[in-house]
Structure 1
Amino acid sequence: MPDELDIELFRPGTFTAAGGRNLDFSADTLAQIAAGYDPAAYDAPVVVGHPAGDAPAYGWVKGLRIEGGRLKATLHKIDPAFAELVKDGKYRKVSASFYMPDHPNNPKPGALSLRHVGFLGAQPPAVKGLKPVEFAEGDRVDRVAVVEADGFADFAEGGATMAELLAQVRALSNQVNELRARNADFAETERAAKSRENRAFVATLVKEGRFWPGFADGMAAFLDSLDGPGHVIEFAEHGETVTRSGGEFMRDFLRRQPVTIHFGELAAPDAAAVGEHATEDELAERIAGFVESERAAGRTVSYSDALRAVTLSRNA
């Protein structure tokens, strides 16, 4: 490390202290700090971290100046052993600590004053965007700016103001709500598509004669409910445990039903007497009603017998 080293300490901005208070470091404020620094009155030390006042100094701040809108410091009388530790990467960050205007030890009462320059190890930066230190050998140390507690102020990482943090929270909340809305829309689209599939499936069963048309709408709605969340069943099949949704199981069950309804018979001459303009559903309702009335009377009839009975009753 050279006998003297110029480093970048601070940049203008409004920073939030740990207690929630915002402190403004304007360009004018930084200029006042630079102009007010007098090493003859108070020689700010170069230290490790942000220690108490009795910690050893490994160098001193010779002077402060404004360059390119940033507060810069010239360090001198740097301890050679400490310089080697920095070169070896033991301390890769630098932080500036300032006295608050009303601190009793402030050498410039009523104004912010530089307290010390701390070299840090693993501590994360509190103010980003400062230029790294460039050593003659090409080593680099990242810049950090912190104003401490105990009569100082500890600034939040990144220098965000409370208003900026609240804006970020609102933006994240809006993103979450948007994702929830998209998820709900997707779920509704998926549910509607599945419902159309169920109705087409039942219509195919009816066409094949595996299911009675009068119950088609009810079965489609029933399949919709079985496809909902939470309807999962486990059972043994061929010596293995099978996990399926209720809808999948019911559709497989219905597919395996034998053909029991032959609609060709419904178009026989006798069936025409049921009504010239009777729809398939109306015919199914009449037959189902006849079956139920017979069952209530203690008699069991097949759908074929019910068809004949309905046909004869209309033809009489």
Structure 2
Amino acid sequence: MKWFAIFKTGKHTDSSGNEKQWTEKDLDKIVETYDPSKHEAPIVIGHPKSNAPAFGWVDKLKRVGDTLYALPKQLANEFVEMVNKGLFKKRSISLYPDGTLRHIGFLGAQPPAVKGLPDVEFKDDDQSATIEGEQFTDLEDAGDQKSDNEKIKELQKQIDIYQKQLSDMLAKEREFEQLQSKYAEIIVEKNRLEAELNKQKRESEEKEFEEYLDKAISDGRLLPKMKDPITKIFKIISLTPEFEFSEGVKTQSTDVIKEFIEKMPKLIDFMPKLIDFKEHKDQKSQAFDNEPVSKIVAEEIRKQMGNK
């Protein structure tokens, strides 16, 4: 709860015409004589005579300069809402004849007798003095205002909550970083395995194509010196695994080269000459018997190339 002003020094006249000059000493007497253990002054609406409900209680009084302040406690929620809505902008104090605080009354829209100054009203029926006035310029609304210590405690609770939220966020951030690191490791391993698999596949395809070229050479469709250039073409064209020559029809790149080779005519015809060993013997049997087969094959290749 927070202190709020209830009265000031000065000359005040009540509705009965009684006038008094209130000094700081008078305010000090009100503070000194207030003992909640003997009489706990209620906070009420208006100035009830008796048996009216209390919407709060006065815990302490103090004087600051020319102003008297009260510290409330146990304020009713509905009363706090009404005060905060501005339904009661005036405060009044009721004093016993000995100057002890009887109650603090919150008033509505009724204006005081003198603008800017508190009015003094002495009630004949109960011999208590009621002093009421306009809202003080430094008056602070009562309500759910907290003392500084209570505010500090509340702020500390909020700090603790924010610290826990921050700690949770940092923990999640560390977990996220760990997941990112694990994800990166998996991606690296996946790329490594894919590269290894592609390498094995490429080596297998190159080996298979090399065997195909060797057979094409042995069949006479290619010359041996064509093997390296065609192999280079194969490596380049194999970078694009498939070609689409017509809509919806895809062809393997290696099949394109193979189809080209298959349609080529034989460049060398080994069989007729290589199997006719008798003809060689008839012409030069002794020399033929002494020559190695590789030399004979080379000679036949030269002849065949000469005929092309």
Q: What TM bracket, shorter-length normalisation?
A: 0.3 to 0.5
Superposition TM-score, scaled by structure 1 size: 0.38
Superposition TM-score, scaled by structure 2 size: 0.39
